[in-house]
Amino acid sequence: MRNMITNNQVLLGLSGGVDSTAAALLLKEKGYKVTGLFLDVMGNRGSDVNAAESVAGQLCIDFLYKDVSQQFNEDVIQYFCRAYVEGITPNPCVQCNPLVKFNVLTKTADELGIHWIATGHYARIFNNSNEDPYFIYKARSFEKDQSYMLYRLNQDVLSRLLLPLGELNSKEEVRELVKERGISNAETKDSQEICFIKNHNYTDYIINKGYENKPGDFLNMDGKVIGRHKGIIHYTIGQRKNLGQTFGKPKYVVQINPRDNTVTLGDYGDLFRTTVYATEPFFTAFPHVSGVLPNKYKERALQAKIRYAAPAAEARVYQEVEKTLQIQFREPQRAVTPGQSIVFYDGEKLIGGAIIQA
């Protein structure tokens, strides 16, 4: 976290969970006057709002509430549903962060005359001088690092963003900090992966939103029909369980084709590949060439992650067509999934990322 305070007010995204609570405590100890902002993505003023307001009271900080459900529905929920219908696997957090969460944080801070914004994400931000761009770095805790989710944030956000948890070494350290300060949510469980689907059943959620789901054919790698599937929204690349039928030996989803409503199944070895194509590149640390691979990284070995939970692997990035990247991995990667982000690092520094197409 930056040491120089030119304005000691900060607007913090306060969910009521232990991470944003710890962020508030650390900011207060640094001398900031913290205001907590709860973003209600469902617009129902549910129990989460009450929990966040209770935490704000225990922290002795001001509390604000904002209903962002309409924007969240348009930019995240509908995107999420359409993606599955189109045969791709979305990443709602990558979509939400620039379009909703940090967008609303910065606009609300501007309305209040507050310069700094903050969240409980595990990542770090640096810049070498006032003239240089701001860079995202991995968190000290590589296990909890969330830099992958932040790669589409622009310089206007990064230049005023504080991420105090990035300097901590573990989630246990975060919980202990909150417990020592006597805040009641120290042992609160981490939030689920998809915040707007409470029962984890995303297929029923999509159908209940009015999207069509039609059964179709399972194909083998030769294009031969080998069975029937329940509808492409039920499947993602690499999936083995819950196929709805057995085939005598383990089969994995290798391809999903919405044009003819088919799902191709193959063996485990069919999931691996070294070449990935991606579009919508965004190079976080290079604001003037956000869609163009910076010269210093052309054909240079970087580390790339094909999904949030995947380990970083050595790769070289090529850009022959505007807005399209070709990534060549040194070692084959398992279950490259269209719709997920591929994110690039130079050591601990996040360079940028793109959306996997094939």
Q: Which residues are catalytic?
A: 96, 195
What is the SS3 string spanning the chain? CCCCCCCCEEEEECCCCHHHHHHHHHHHHCCCEEEEEEEECCCCCCHHHHHHHHHHHHHCCEEEEEECHHHHHHHHHHHHHHHHHCCCCCCHHHHHHHHHHHHHHHHHHHHHCCCEEECCCCCEEECCCCCCCCEEECCCCCCCCCHHHHCCCCHHHHCCEECHHHHCCCHHHHHHHHHHCCCCCCCCCCCCCCCCCCCCCHHHHHHHCCCCCCCEEEECCCCCEEEEECCHHHCCCCCCCCCCCCCCCCCEEEEEECCCCEEEEECHHHHEEEEEEEEEEECCCCHHHCCCCCHHHCCCEEEEECCCCCCCEEEEEEEEECCEEEEEEEEEEECCCCCCEEEEEECCEEEEEEEECC
The distance of Cα 208 from the centroid of its chain, to the nearest Å, equals 24
As beta bridge partners, residue 276 has 327
Tokens of 271: 């999931």
